[in-house]
């Protein structure tokens, strides 16, 4: 697609349709299992029409991941050094749970990329993600040194939050198979609130 002209309304609509379809296909089949034909069919476009916007499957996947990483980092960005430590951490956990509830396909797409060794976002993980996590763990350590929260390994605290909250999206089928008709997030929020409130209590 030409970069010299602003995209038309139809071009914006088709590009959005392709990315939405790709999100469904990649999150269900992974990068290796997905095909351009599947994405085109899901988007309601011909394969040549899709290739006008994205020349390869890799280009579609990279476009999705680029936007997703920003979304993924947003909840951690909001952790405020000037806020109440306990409430800041619990609010971060709630935001991560909300992401698992509202963006399960995005979570699975991200998880699939990591399982494959993150070949398309390794540089971003080593830079953007690492810088942000280092910054926020320094805040956690400061709170610990002030006696405002318990002394814990700050990185493993962050890892545990990721593992627990993202489980509800990445293992949705397993969770729902066990809980049946029960909404998993109704019980998840009070559980993780109690768990981390007790863990973090100085």
CATH code, domain carrying 171: 1.10.357.10
Summarised one tens digit per residue, pLDDT across range 156-168 is 999 999 999 999 9
First to last CA, the chain: 57
Predicted confidence at residue 2, as pLDDT, reads: 47
**Do residue 20 and residue 43 come from a single domain?**
yes
For the entire predicted model, the pTM comes to 0.83
Does residue 26 sit in the same domain as residue 87? no
| 83 shares its domain with 42 | no
Question: Contact, 161 vs 153, CB < 8 A?
Answer: no
Mean pLDDT of 3-15: 81
| Confidence (pLDDT) at 56 | 94
pLDDT at 4: 56
Any domain includes 147: yes
In total, how many domains does the chain have?
2
At residue 109, the pLDDT reads: 86
Residue closest to 129 by CA, chosen among 151, 143, 114: 114
Q: Are 97 and 189 in contact (CB under 8 A)?
A: yes
> Do 89 and 177 sit in the same domain of this protein?
yes
In a domain, 103, yes or no: yes
Is 60 part of a structural domain of the chain? no
Is there a domain that residue 27 lies in? Answer: yes
Question: Do 104 and 170 share a domain, yes or no?
Answer: yes
Instruction: Give me the domain span that covers residue 17.
Output: 1-55
Q: What tokens appear for 146 in the block?
A: 């002030």
Neighbouring C-alpha atoms within 13 Å toward the C-beta of 173:
3
pLDDT (tens digit per residue) in 103-152:
998 888 888 888 888 777 777 777 888 999 999 999 999 999 999 999 99
Asked if 145 contacts 84 with a C-beta cutoff of 8 angstroms, the reply is: no
Tens of pLDDT, residue by residue over 88-116, are 999 999 999 999 999 998 888 888 888 88
Mean pLDDT score across all residues of the chain:
92
- When pLDDT is averaged across residues 62-90 and rounded to a whole number, the result is 92
Q: Residue 23: give its domain's CATH number.
A: 1.10.10.60
Which pLDDT score, from 0 to 100, does residue 3 have? 52
pLDDT at 128: 86
Taking the C-alpha atoms of residue 24 and residue 29, their distance in angstroms, rounded to an integer, is: 9
Write down the pLDDT at residue 79.
97
Q: Dihedral of the CA atoms 34, 37, 43, 47 (nearest 10)? A: 140
Do 168 and 96 fall into the same domain?
yes
- Statement to judge: residues 87 and 146 lie in one domain: yes
**Within this chain, do residues 107 and 140 fall inside the same structural domain, yes or no?**
yes
* 46 within domain boundaries: yes
What is the Cα–Cα distance from 160 to 78, expressed in whole angstroms? 18
Same structural domain for residues 77 and 46?
no
Name the more confident of 118 and 191.
191
Question: Between 123 and 174, where is the model more confident?
Answer: 174
* Percent of the chain's residues with pLDDT above 90: 73
| 168 and 93 fall within a common domain | yes
Compute the average pLDDT of residues 166-193.
95
DSSP character string of 154-170: HHHHHHHHHHHHHHHHH
Specify the residue for token string 């991941």: 65
């Amino acid at each position: 697609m030409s970069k010299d002209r602003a995209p038309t309304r139809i071009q914006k609509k088709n590009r959005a349709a392709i990315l939405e379809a790709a999100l469904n296909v990649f999150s269900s089949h992974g990068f290796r299992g997905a095909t351009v034909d599947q994405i085109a069919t899901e988007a309601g476009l011909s394969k040549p029409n899709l290739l006008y916007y994205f020349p390869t499957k890799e280009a579609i996947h990279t476009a999705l991941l680029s936007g997703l990483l920003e979304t993924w980092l947003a909840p951690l960005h909001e952790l405020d050094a000037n806020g109440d430590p306990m409430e800041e951490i619990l609010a971060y956990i709630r935001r991560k749970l909300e992401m698992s509830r509202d963006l399960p396909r995005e979570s699975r797409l991200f998880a699939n990329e990591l399982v494959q060794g993150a070949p398309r976002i390794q540089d971003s993980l080593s830079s953007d993600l690492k810088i942000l996590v280092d910054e926020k763990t320094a805040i956690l350590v400061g709170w610990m040194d002030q006696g405002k929260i318990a002394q814990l390994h700050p990185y493993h605290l962050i890892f545990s939050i990721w593992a627990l909250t993202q489980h509800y999206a990445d293992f949705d089928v397993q969770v729902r198979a066990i809980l049946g008709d029960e909404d998993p997030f109704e019980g998840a929020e009070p559980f993780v609130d109690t768990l981390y409130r007790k863990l973090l209590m100085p």
